[in-house]
């Protein structure tokens, strides 16, 4: 089992640019979660999907953030336009029941 | 709503010391309880879980008991090692509907072990 796969692992971009983070959940898992982690705010749930359908996006900070899950094996989190305060580690996690399996994260730096 | 409160860190101990990290929760119904661990530069990993009252979860020498009467799920280890240095998150399941649930995480407790 390859686990949850995220790409890229590191992203450095300039303010105003579009950023797309990618996630491949574990095969057979029917829920997918996007989190953001910073020193100041800790771990925040941004959005989660069940059977590819968004269930709760109340954690998405602004309209600049959007997430899609076109099929059971792929999800994206897009930030457009990016801002320095978006710098954080973004985690994707998937679950079949209650146990969440986290990916290694994408460290985003917006300059 | 459901919530988790855990002791603030950082916690610094010497190797072979006894560890307790306190965690209490507020929940309706009967949530499952978890401890996750995050090593530097990695994502969170499930350390142990308990699904009903009086259950004891255990893994890698760590233990926690689901105490409904005190709404607690304290993490303990009898003898810590340098390799246990990490951030520990207490969490509970929050079932939104029968087909979907999410996990509510505490704020995390950073543990540092001195050789």
Report A:39-98 residues touching B (Cβ under 8 A). 42-43, 45, 48, 50-51, 55-56, 91, 93, 97-98
Report whether the peptide linkage leading into residue A8 is cis, meaning its omega lies within 30 degrees of zero. yes
Q: Give the pLDDT of residue B58.
A: 97
Neighbours of A5 (CB within 10 A): 15
Q: A99 — contact with chain B (CB < 8 Å)?
A: yes
A42 vs B99: CB contact, 8 Å cut-off?
A: no
Which residues of A are less than 8 Å from B103 in CB distance? 98, 100
Q: Give the pLDDT of residue B97.
A: 54
Q: Give the pLDDT of residue B99.
A: 54
Angle in degrees, CA B21, B112, A10, rounded to 5: 105
Q: What is the dihedral of CA B14, B20, B25, B31, to 10 degrees?
A: 110
Q: B17 — contact with chain A (CB < 8 Å)?
A: no
Token pair in block for residue B25 = 């929760």
Tens of pLDDT, residue by residue over B32-79, are: 999 999 999 899 999 999 999 999 999 999 999 999 999 999 999 999
Q: Give the pLDDT of residue B77.
A: 98
Along the 111 residues of chain A, how does pLDDT read in single tens digits? 689 999 999 999 999 999 999 999 999 999 999 999 999 899 999 999 999 999 999 999 889 999 999 999 999 999 999 999 999 999 999 997 778 999 999 999 999
**Quick check: B73 and B65 in contact, CB under 8 A?**
yes
Q: Give the pLDDT of residue B112.
A: 97
- The DSSP string of A49-80 is EETTEEEE-TT--STTEEEEEEETTEEEEEES
A50 vs B100: CB contact, 8 Å cut-off?
A: yes
Q: How does A82-110 read in b/e, with b if 16+ C-beta sit within 10 Å?
A: beeebbbbbbbbbbeebbbbbbbbbbbeb
Tens of pLDDT, residue by residue over B2-13, are: 899 998 889 999
Q: Give the pLDDT of residue B95.
A: 67
With H, G, I as helix, E, B as strand and everything else as coil, classify residue B84: helix
Token pair in block for residue B11 = 């916690």
A104 vs B44: CB contact, 8 Å cut-off?
A: no
For residue B54, what is the enclosing H or E element?
A: none
Residue A78 Cα distances to A37, B87, B102, angstroms: 16, 28, 22
Indicate if the pLDDT at residue B86 is higher than 70.
yes
Tens of pLDDT, residue by residue over B94-111, are: 765 555 678 899 999 999
- CA A4/CA B6 separation, integer angstroms: 27
Nearest to B54 by CA among B46, B64, B41, B40: B64
Report whether the peptide linkage leading into residue A81 is cis, meaning its omega lies within 30 degrees of zero. yes
């Amino acid at each position: 089992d390859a686990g949850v796969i995220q790409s890229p692992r590191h992203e450095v971009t300039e303010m105003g640019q579009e950023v797309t983070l990618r996630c491949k959940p574990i095969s057979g898992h029917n829920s997918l979660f996007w989190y953001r982690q910073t020193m100041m705010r800790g771990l925040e749930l941004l959005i989660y999907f069940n059977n590819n359908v968004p269930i709760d996006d109340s954690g998405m900070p602004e309209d600049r953030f959007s997430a899609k899950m076109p099929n059971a094996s792929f999800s994206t989190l897009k930030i457009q336009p990016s801002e320095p305060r978006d710098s954080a580690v973004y985690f994707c996690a998937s679950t079949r029941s209650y146990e969440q399996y986290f990916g290694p994260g994408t460290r985003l730096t917006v300059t | 709503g459901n919530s988790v409160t855990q002791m603030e860190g950082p916690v610094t101990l010497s190797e072979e010391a006894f560890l307790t990290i306190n965690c209490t929760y507020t929940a309706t119904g009967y949530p499952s309880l978890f401890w996750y661990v995050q090593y530097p530069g990695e994502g969170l990993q499930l350390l142990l879980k308990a699904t009903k009252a009086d259950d004891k979860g255990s893994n890698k020498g760590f233990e926690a008991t689901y105490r409904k009467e005190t709404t607690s799920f304290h993490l303990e280890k009898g003898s810590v090692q340098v390799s246990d240095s990490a951030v520990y998150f207490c969490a509970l399941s929050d079932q939104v509907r029968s087909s979907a649930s999410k996990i509510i995480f505490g704020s995390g407790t950073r543990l540092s072990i001195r050789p």
